[in-house]
Amino acid sequence: MIKLTFLLLPAFLFFSCSESTNDIAEDQTKSIEEEIVEDTTPDPNAPGDFEEYYPNGALKIRGKNNAEGNREGLWISYYDNGIKWSESYYDNGIKNGHSLTFFPNGGIRYVGEYENDVKIGTWKFYDEAGELLNEEVFE
């Protein structure tokens, strides 16, 4: 009988001191719920002005959508340090017109024209020091 008491006593103490699994699951659920943050990512296809930001608060892209939710006019994107990355013009969601892309140092990477989302004319490509590397003609 004493042996049985010594065997059952540790088991009784172990189970009486342990936290129930329901309590653990409830605690985990509470901490998950507390971590839920509102998604503030803007809808890129919503009509009107559009701006998106990097996590550091810097502007990532800016432009305007027409009533159908397609890009319209000038759209500008930026590196996360605020330096301009690119400029492109859109007509009902299709690239049309002048397009520029920049290096992170602000220098022009390449420049050219689009017509109905197709490169046309002479495109110029530069290195980071601003030296012309290449010209390519698109028809």
- For the cut 70, the answer to whether the pLDDT of residue 79 exceeds it is yes
Alpha helices in 18-132 (DSSP H): 21-35
Q: Is 11 helix (H, G, I), strand (E, B) or coil?
A: helix
Instruction: Calculate mean pLDDT across residues 61-75.
Output: 96
pLDDT of 47 reads 84
Residue 10: phi and psi, rounded to 5, are -60, -40
User: Which DSSP helix (H) or strand (E) runs through 13?
Assistant: helix 2-17
Beta bridge partners of 74: 89
Q: Is 98 helix (H, G, I), strand (E, B) or coil?
A: strand
Residue 22 confidence class, pLDDT cut points 50, 70, 90: low
* Residue 101 CB partners (closer than 8 Å, separation 6+): 85, 86, 108, 109, 110, 111
- For the cut 70, the answer to whether the pLDDT of residue 13 exceeds it is no
Residue 39 confidence class, pLDDT cut points 50, 70, 90: very low
> Could you tell me the pTM of the whole model?
0.68
